[in-house]
């Protein structure tokens, strides 16, 4: 590859990146490109797993440490958090959230963006708010360097009306498992989705799916793609 590309992952909480995108993020880094991460909140309203009661500030600090470890394991180059209210993104003025996202994408000259699909994967209201904010920023041309937008769908996702690229586990489960493990405070939701973490890849988590939502001004273009970097200018 001649030019190093920047792929921005725009999410709501620490751990969203690990749940849906570990294989893709690690692959981007391994190929010499730059995965970067923006999370709107510090996840301070979440559960604490087996760690017992914590104040919001204690949990925020704990989750900062967890995310820093995951960032390291996944090979993320840049990570920024907006520190907005966890569970309360609906209450943030849309223009304010969009401005933060647009600034992040512009500052790092992101080529490709990955975010939640319309249902937020889990239906979490913060995830859905992020989905719409990223759409507004990208579709509205607020981040002119962006050439493609993908929605991070569940691994088995397929569609007749859109292009989907699947990233195979291909030896990367170990990386994903370690990144999941460091999100220690979130172990209950991790086990609900992935089961008890061990050396074997859970069968339903052998691939991650990314739906091409927008490319160079075209919504849901039908493409045959081998990489998220195909067709970049
Ligand atoms: Zn989340």
CA of 63 to the centre of ligand 1 (A): 12
The CA-based dihedral angle spanning residues 130, 132, 138, 143, taken in that order and rounded to the nearest 10 degrees: -50
Distances 205 to 18, 24, 25, 38, 165 between C-alpha atoms, Å: 12, 13, 15, 24, 15
Domains of the chain: total: 1
Within a domain: residue 32?
A: yes
Predicted confidence pLDDT, tens digits, the chain (233 residues): 568 999 999 999 999 999 999 999 999 999 999 999 999 999 999 788 888 889 999 999 999 999 999 999 999 999 999 999 999 999 999 999 999 999 999 999 999 999 999 999 999 999 999 999 999 999 999 999 999 999 999 888 988 889 999 999 999 999 999 999 999 999 999 999 999 999 999 999 999 999 999 999 999 999 889 999 999 99
Gap between the Cα atoms of 186 and 102, Å rounded? 29
pLDDT at 179: 98
Within a domain: residue 48?
A: yes
- In 108-226, where does DSSP find H-type helix? 125-139, 173-182, 187-194
Count, in order, helices (H) and strands (E) of the chain.
6, 8
Gap between the Cα atoms of 67 and 15, Å rounded? 7
CA of 93 to the centre of ligand 1 (A): 19
Within a domain: residue 164?
A: yes
Greatest alpha-carbon span in the chain: 50
Gap between the Cα atoms of 13 and 84, Å rounded? 10
Find out whether 179 and 18 touch, Cβ atoms under 8 Å: yes
CA of 126 to the centre of ligand 1 (A): 7
CA of 224 to the centre of ligand 1 (A): 30
Residue range(s) defining the domain that contains residue 14: 6-219
CA of 15 to the centre of ligand 1 (A): 7
pLDDT at 2: 66
Within a domain: residue 229?
A: no
Find out whether 37 and 13 touch, Cβ atoms under 8 Å: no
Find out whether 74 and 29 touch, Cβ atoms under 8 Å: yes
Within a domain: residue 122?
A: yes
CA of 159 to the centre of ligand 1 (A): 24
CATH of the domain at 157: 3.40.50.10320
CA of 86 to the centre of ligand 1 (A): 9
Within a domain: residue 231?
A: no
Within a domain: residue 181?
A: yes
CA of 66 to the centre of ligand 1 (A): 14
Within a domain: residue 65?
A: yes
Helix (H, G, I), strand (E, B) or coil at 133: helix
Gap between the Cα atoms of 113 and 135, Å rounded? 10
CA of 83 to the centre of ligand 1 (A): 14
CA of 2 to the centre of ligand 1 (A): 34
CA of 24 to the centre of ligand 1 (A): 18
Number of residues that make up the chain: 233
């Amino acid at each position: 590859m001649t030019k190093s590309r920047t792929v921005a992952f725009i999410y709501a909480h620490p751990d969203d990146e690990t749940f849906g995108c570990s294989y893709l993020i690690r692959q981007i880094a391994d190929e010499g490109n730059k995965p970067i991460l923006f999370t709107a909140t510090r996840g301070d309203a979440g559960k604490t797993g087996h760690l017992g009661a914590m104040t919001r500030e204690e949990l925020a600090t704990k989750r900062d440490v967890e995310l820093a470890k995951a960032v390291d394991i996944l090979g993320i180059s840049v990570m920024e958090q907006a520190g907005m209210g966890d569970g309360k993104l609906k209450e943030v003025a849309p223009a304010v959230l969009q401005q933060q996202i647009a600034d992040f994408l512009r500052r790092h000259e992101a080529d490709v963006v990955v975010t939640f699909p319309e249902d937020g994967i889990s239906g979490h209201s913060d995830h859905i708010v992020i989905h719409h904010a990223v759409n507004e920023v990208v579709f509205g041309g607020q981040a002119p360097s962006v050439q493609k937008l993908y929605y991070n769908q569940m691994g088995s996702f397929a569609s007749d009306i859109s292009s989907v690229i699947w990233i195979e586990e291909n030896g990367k489960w170990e990386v994903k498992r370690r990144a999941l493990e460091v999100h220690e405070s979130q172990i209950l939701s991790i086990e609900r989705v992935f089961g008890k973490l061990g050396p074997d890849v859970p069968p339903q988590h052998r691939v991650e799916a990314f739906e091409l939502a927008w490319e160079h001004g075209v919504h849901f273009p039908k493409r045959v793609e081998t990489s998220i970097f195909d067709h970049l200018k």
